[in-house]
Structure 1
Amino acid sequence: MMQRRFLLSAAIAAPVALAGCASQTLADYAGEKPLLDLAQYFNGRIDAHGMFQDRSGKIVKRFTVLMDCQWNGNQGVLDEAFTYSDGSRERRVWRLTKEAHGRYTGTAGDVVGRAVGQTSGNAFRWNYTLNLPVDGKVYEVEFDDWMYLMDDRVMLNRATMSKFGVRLGEVTLAFTKR
């Protein structure tokens, strides 16, 4: 009787536990509005406010970003000027290419190889490896970026940063188009 209860409990709990392991996919957002067109949203001046949280949830860095973005056909340039809460500054210039079927590729000076991404509905998933300087050393870390267009002015961004598959922390950003 006891073994039967255990098996029944396990059978009921397994789908619940597995559902907790499921991750989001772009298809989950296919019907969401407003539709995200990166070339339309990232065109002009954009302000962003963000933070980096380590894997324990502690906020390690806060920052602002001033972005100057422009597109010519399927080619876009996103010039980002970061100012961190400790007063340090950083600049990253993304060069994006809009491909077919909502796909994008991109490069930047501190990105290893090419970034790849795709839109679906109001969402954009962007994956890349970044050379991240920390205490005089540079580490290659992977970013899994998810952006969600809320309305014509606001987009929210949540990125998971990892190395060798180990989650290091998360970056959260709120973009506001001027």
Structure 2
Amino acid sequence: MTHPMPRRRGATRILSAAALALTVALGTGCASAPQPSDYAQQQPKLDFRAYFNGPVSAQGLFTDRDGRVVKRFSVAMMGRWEGQQGVLEEDFTYSDGTRERRVWRLTDLGGGRFEGRADDIVGVAVGESAGNALRWRYTMKVPVDGRVIEFQFDDWMYQMDARTMLNKASMRKFGITVGEVTLSFLKP
């Protein structure tokens, strides 16, 4: 004959573990996503217009949702500003030998807010900066296997020092992260 007490303790342990897991999941799900204002006190202060005025180079990679490196690339950039309007020319060279060019038309809206437009951007890219961080949100048309697919980007830039900026962007489709882009910018 088996004693029912161990079974009850086991069930209690399982229910307690499930309750703890649910509490953690709900707590994590309710946690707010980072905002540029979270970095307001971080130094050095990112001056987007000053950093992207003149030549800048970058090295980067694209990883798929499993973290595998799909493509590596380098970028030669040239930025120039006249008043609140800027142009940032980007020339990409990918590890498979392909090349791509993007020209951003930028507007400084004041108060750490920016807008950006480019031929492969759907509508307007919206940027917000505070402290050492700048967040861009936009939808980009990306060629994939002979088709063009629209992906939503959540793109973060972090000023590390006068010459170095790091960039991490997540790509989503239907709310699901499908990959990430990581870059290191260097100003001469």
Output the TM-score relative to the length of structure 2: 0.87
Of 4-13 and 101-110, more deviation after overlay is shown by: 4-13
> Among 14, 17, 23, which residue is 1:14 paired with?
23
Alignment of 1:1-178 (within 5 A): 2=9, 6-7=15-16, 10-11=19-20, 14-15=23-24, 18-19=27-28, 22=31, 23-178=33-188
Task: Report the secondary structure of 2:116's partner residue.
Answer: strand
Following TM superposition, the consecutive aligned residue runs of length 4 or more in structure 1 with deviations greater than 6 angstroms are: none
Gaps of 5+ in 2: 1-7
Shift of 1:9: 7.5
Task: Report the secondary structure of 1:33's partner residue.
Answer: coil
What is the total number of aligned residue pairs between the two structures? 178
Cα-to-partner distance string for 1:115-171 (whole Å, 9 max, x where unaligned): 001001100000111111111110111111000000010000000001111111000
Gaps of 5+ in 1: none
Shift of 1:38: 0.6
Aligned partner of 2:96: which letter?
A: D
Identity of aligned residues (%): 54
The alpha-carbon distance between structure 1 residues 8 and 167, as it changes in their structure 2 partners (threshold 3 A), is: closer
Equivalent-residue separation in structure 2 for 1:167 and 1:21 (angstroms)? 19
Output the TM-score relative to the length of structure 1: 0.92
Shift of 1:20: 7.3
Aligned partner of 2:154: which letter?
A: D
Shift of 1:101: 1.2
Q: Could you say what the CA RMSD is over the residues aligned between the two structures, in angstroms?
A: 2.0
Equivalent-residue separation in structure 1 for 2:123 and 2:111 (angstroms)? 22
